[in-house]
């Protein structure tokens, strides 16, 4: 599906639908009139096939305990095979209500209070929260910018592991907010360091469908070399914007780790599956390929527009290449002093965005723009931002 058809068919108005992105602006930013291009949530309805299946189920009117069917697994396995080239096995899989919930659960299950957990900022801020809320020791190895593109600092990563001996590494792949799709070589290198020092790898691959170049899943690195110390989490919630339907996946290929998790879950997780969440995901996995094509075309076009417009009007704004995710990481420091970003972006340009320091204390002066919206919203945001900076 092309961008025009996608927007015509699926773009929706979201104000006054109890949307955090649109209706919590006063509460979150102190200004209900901002244009929201913050939280990773989109202005596009799910594929028609999904809303139809949900409507039929709602019409049925019964929402009792539900089971996971083989059809669900087949749909998910097929989607993963087509889009991420993975070889998901049924026994690896368990369910949760969200990827962030799983981060908390897996930290609980596989580490003890006080243990170190290592992450690579700038990175999705709930990684920090999960580690700190669970009273683990936060260890960071910052990504480094090389010729305008972020890379892992492997020497620093290994040095931090040797110094602090973390038990767990949370990998963000593709990486939010810097938009990297890690190559197999980069993943192999970082996972080999973890193997050498016996650090468990928790790969958050929630953005794996939103990619503009080939994606390599952590389970496929060097033909599954690292499966015995790897846990993977993902969900249809980013791809199809289904976050509030509370259905996500945990993969644990290694039997010993899986048993450890199952024993932990027996004690702490007695929730049922989300009937509606699983139905939406199943139908999306079965029929959503063309929809995803339209979404990717729209995100890419919004990215090109924003990048080219910044290059023309404010050429010293630095934008990292968008290899994956629908999030644009923008360095405003050439024009805006670090302590003036809120004043310029929020008070003057009237935008609700994610500020750089949410992702790293060293990322002041950066902002993250959510591109998964209509071209009209992106044009408005870019125009208002440029005018505010020029002022």
Q: Give the footprint of ligand PLP on this chain (CB under 6 A).
A: 40, 98-100, 124, 172, 176, 204, 206, 235, 237-238, 243, 248
Beta carbon nearer to ligand PLP, 281 or 389: 281
CA distance 347 to 388: 9
Q: How many residues does the chain have?
A: 391
- Whether residue 177 has a cis bond before it, omega within 30° of 0: yes
Q: What is the DSSP letter of 345?
A: I
Residue with token string 């996608």: 6
- In the complex, what is the shortest distance from the CB of residue 62 to ligand PLP, in angstroms, rounded to a whole number? 26
Exposure class string for 258-282: b at 16+ Cβ within 10 A, else e: beebeeebeeebeeebbbbbbbbbb
Can you tell me the distance from the alpha carbon of 283 to that of 47, in angstroms, rounded to the nearest whole number? Answer: 9
In the chain the first and final C-alpha atoms are separated, in Å, by 40
CB of 312 to ligand PLP, least distance (A): 30
Cβ distance to ligand PLP smaller for residue 310 or 358: 358
CB of 309 to ligand PLP, least distance (A): 25
* Residue 335 or 355 with smaller CB distance to ligand PLP: 355
CB 117 within 8 A of CB 96: no
Q: Identify which of residues 86 and 274 has a Cβ nearer to ligand PLP in the complex.
A: 274
Strands (E), 55-124: 93-96, 116-119
Select 47 or 98, whichever has its Cβ closest to ligand PLP.
Answer: 98
CB of 235 to ligand PLP, least distance (A): 5
Least distance between ligand PLP and beta carbon 102 (Å) = 8
What is the closest distance, in whole angstroms, from the C-beta atom of residue 87 to ligand PLP in the complex? 23
Cα(319)–Cα(309) distance, rounded to whole angstroms? Answer: 11
**What distance in Å separates the CA atoms of residue 358 and residue 364, rounded to the nearest whole number?**
9
- Cα(240)–Cα(258) distance, rounded to whole angstroms? 28
Q: Which is nearer to ligand PLP, 111 or 237 (CB)?
A: 237
In terms of CB distance, is 99 or 139 closer to ligand PLP? 99
Nearest approach, Cβ of residue 241 and ligand PLP (Å): 10
How many whole angstroms separate alpha carbon 153 and alpha carbon 190?
9
Least distance CB 233 / ligand PLP (angstroms): 8
For residue 131, the tally of other CB atoms under 10 A from its CB is 26
- Contact by Cβ (8 Å): 281, 241: no
Q: Of the two residues 235 and 377, which places its CB atom closer to ligand PLP in the complex?
A: 235
């Amino acid at each position: 599906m092309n961008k025009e058809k996608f927007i015509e068919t699926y773009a929706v108005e979201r104000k006054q639908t109890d949307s955090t992105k649109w209706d919590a602006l006063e509460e979150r930013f102190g200004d209900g009139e901002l244009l929201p291009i913050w939280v990773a949530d989109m202005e596009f309805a799910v594929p028609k096939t999904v809303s139809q299946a949900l409507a039929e189920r709602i019409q049925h009117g019964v929402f009792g305990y539900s089971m996971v069917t083989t059809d669900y697994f087949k749909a998910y396995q097929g989607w993963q095979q087509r889009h991420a080239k993975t070889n998901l096995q049924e026994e690896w899989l368990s369910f949760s209500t969200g990827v962030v919930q799983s981060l908390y659960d897996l930290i609980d299950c596989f580490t003890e209070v006080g243990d170190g957990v290592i992450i690579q900022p700038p990175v999705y801020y709930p990684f920090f929260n999960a580690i700190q809320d669970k009273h683990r020791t936060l260890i960071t190895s910052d990504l480094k910018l090389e010729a305008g593109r972020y890379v892992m600092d492997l020497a620093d990563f290994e040095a931090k592991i040797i110094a602090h001996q973390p038990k767990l590494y949370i990998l963000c792949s593709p990486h939010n907010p810097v938009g990297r799709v890690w190559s197999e070589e980069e993943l192999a290198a970082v996972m080999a360091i973890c193997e050498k020092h016996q650090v468990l790898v928790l790969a958050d691959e929630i953005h794996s469908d939103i990619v503009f170049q080939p994606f390599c899943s952590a389970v496929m690195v060097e033909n599954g070399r690292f499966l015995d110390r790897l846990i993977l989490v993902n969900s249809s919630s980013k791809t199809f914007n289904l976050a509030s339907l509370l259905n996500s996946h945990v993969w644990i290929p290694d039997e010993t780790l899986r048993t450890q998790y199952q024993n932990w879950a027996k004690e702490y997780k007695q929730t049922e599956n989300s009937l509606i969440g699983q139905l939406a995901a199943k139908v999306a996995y079965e029929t959503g390929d063309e929809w995803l094509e339209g979404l990717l075309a729209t995100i890419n076009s919004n990215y090109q527009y924003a990048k080219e417009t910044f290059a023309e009007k404010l050429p010293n704004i630095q934008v990292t290449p968008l290899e994956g995710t629908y999030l644009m990481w923008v360095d405003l420091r050439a024009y805006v002093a670090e302590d003036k970003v809120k004043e310029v972006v929020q008070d003057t340009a009237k935008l609700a965005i994610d500020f750089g320091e949410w992702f790293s204390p060293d990322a002041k002066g950066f902002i993250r723009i959510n591109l998964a919206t209509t071209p009209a919203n992106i044009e408005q945001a870019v125009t208002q931002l440029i005018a505010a900076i020029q002022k």
